[in-house]
Amino acid sequence: MAADVYILGGYQTDFARNWSKERKHILALMREAVQGAMSATGIESEAIEVAHVGNFAAELYCMQGHLGAFFVETDPAFSGLPTGRHEAACASGSIALLAASAEIEAGRYDLSCVLGVEQMKTVSASEGGAFLGTAAWYELEAKGIDFPFPKLFGKLGDEYERRYGLKDEHLAAISAINYANARLNPNAQTRNWYMNQDHAEARDEYNGQVGGRICLSDCSQVTDGAVAVFLASEKAAREYARGRGIPLESLPRIQGWGHHTARLRFVDKVAESASSPYVLPHVRATITDAFTRAQIPDVSAIDGIETHDCFTTSEYMAIDHFGITPPGESYRAIEAGEIALGGRIPINPSGGLIGAGHPVGATGVRQLLDAYKQVTGTAGGYQIEGARRIATLNIGGSGTTSVSFIVGR
């Protein structure tokens, strides 16, 4: 039995901000998240023993590597702090969380800060689209292709269509729900954007096709953002709880996790899954591993999900992969209103990657912080009433690296 890993809270920057327009360096983003997390929790910089940074491609977007070292620049007390940076495309944040929690389980450290960060608005949309292409097998799947990722996730929709049938109106509903939830989230990038089901279903100059069946309204956003959270051993969590006069049991824990990496190319993944009822079986295994480690039977033990909706098709895939419906029947949960806030199993109350935004390396950490907010009843306008256990699913590439956490009290 692994040692418990507690979550002590954290901080998210406002994902609507454009830090390039503010003429800021990525360090400013990192500093706000780290300093914000310390103010939000009352944790002093001297108490932090180690830091992990999740980031996808600062080398491309900001011409800057070695982001672990930049963590040290976020506070004068951090000189000498052990730090490192982790990369797994859009799952970078979750990989950083896994590394930090493994160290705590191993007893190396008691208090760890995990920071996810990406500054993406430094370049044009098409240039950024090419950078994102490096999360696929660039030479084989992305080179010379405009916006390769919408096309890859369009193919995920096509595969669903081939195996089970898929209607665009269901994808539009996923988009509309995420945007509606984002309106309730004061840190969501799209909280004031104009969106509704009609618009998501429209096929016109304002909702053009980006790749295959993927239209603008099906896409997550290009986002500048950073999120920091604190992970703690039982010892550090006990101390934290004592200092605040709260019981240890009131602090959320990572109850379970799953982590698998599939083959890089989308065609190889689909070929491998030909005999499986699940289009992306390694994603399914990631989720069931997390359930098993959390000692829960299935999704019925979960009160809500923060999933990786880089495109509406990835959320459509998550619905049956989580077991909310049998494989291929995700549309039933959408039609029954189950995934909306107030439904049986709300998905992305924060707005997800489509509504809240998708600063690539920060997303996994943002999901964990939102799970923390839900189970501590501090999610404000997007709170799931009475939430006690939340699952996350963070995906890098075209369903390649998958990480899931179960957060509960």
Nearer to other proteins, 28 or 301 (CB): 28
Nearer to other proteins, 35 or 288 (CB): 35
Is residue 192 within the footprint of other proteins (CB under 8 A)? Answer: yes
What does the buried/exposed string (b/e) look like for 182-214 if buried means 16 or more CB atoms within 10 Å of the residue's CB?
bbbbebbbbbeeebebebbbbeeeebeebbbbb
Of 66, 69, 206, 250, the residue at the interface with other proteins (CB under 8 A) is: 206
Do 48 and 42 meet the contact criterion of CB atoms below 8 Å apart?
no
- Whats the size of the chain, residue-wise? 409
Query: Which amino acid, 270?
Result: V
Q: Nearest approach, Cβ of 371 to other proteins (angstroms)?
A: 21
Q: Which span sits near other proteins by CB under 8 A: 12-20, 98-106, 240-248, 288-296?
A: 12-20
Q: Nearest approach, Cβ of 103 to other proteins (angstroms)?
A: 27
Is residue 79 within the footprint of other proteins (CB under 8 A)? Answer: no
Is residue 389 within the footprint of other proteins (CB under 8 A)? Answer: no
Distance of CA 229 to the CA centre of its chain: 13
Is residue 13 within the footprint of other proteins (CB under 8 A)? Answer: yes
Is residue 39 within the footprint of other proteins (CB under 8 A)? Answer: yes
Of 4, 25, 261, 343, the residue at the interface with other proteins (CB under 8 A) is: 25
Nearer to other proteins, 47 or 176 (CB): 176
Is residue 14 within the footprint of other proteins (CB under 8 A)? Answer: yes
| Alpha-carbon gap, residue 149 to 144, rounded angstroms | 13
Query: Which amino acid, 38?
Result: M
**CA dist list (Å): 409 to 3, 88, 111, 120, 404:** 15, 28, 19, 35, 17
Q: Which of 376, 378, 365, 323 is nearest to 347 (CA)?
A: 323
For other proteins, how many residues bind (rule: CB under 8 A)? 30
Is residue 403 within the footprint of other proteins (CB under 8 A)? Answer: no
Residues 127-166, mask of contacts with other proteins (x by CB under 8 A): ----------------------------------------
> What would the two tokens of residue 162 be?
């081939």
| Alpha-carbon gap, residue 195 to 312, rounded angstroms | 15
Is residue 31 within the footprint of other proteins (CB under 8 A)? Answer: yes
Q: Nearest approach, Cβ of 332 to other proteins (angstroms)?
A: 27
Is residue 204 within the footprint of other proteins (CB under 8 A)? Answer: yes
Dihedral angle, C-alpha 43, 46, 49, 54, nearest 10 °: 60
CA atoms within 13 Å, Cβ hemisphere of 265 = 9
User: Could you list the residues that contact other proteins (CB under 8 A)?
Assistant: 13-14, 17, 21-25, 27-32, 36, 39, 73, 183, 191-192, 194-196, 198-199, 202, 204-207
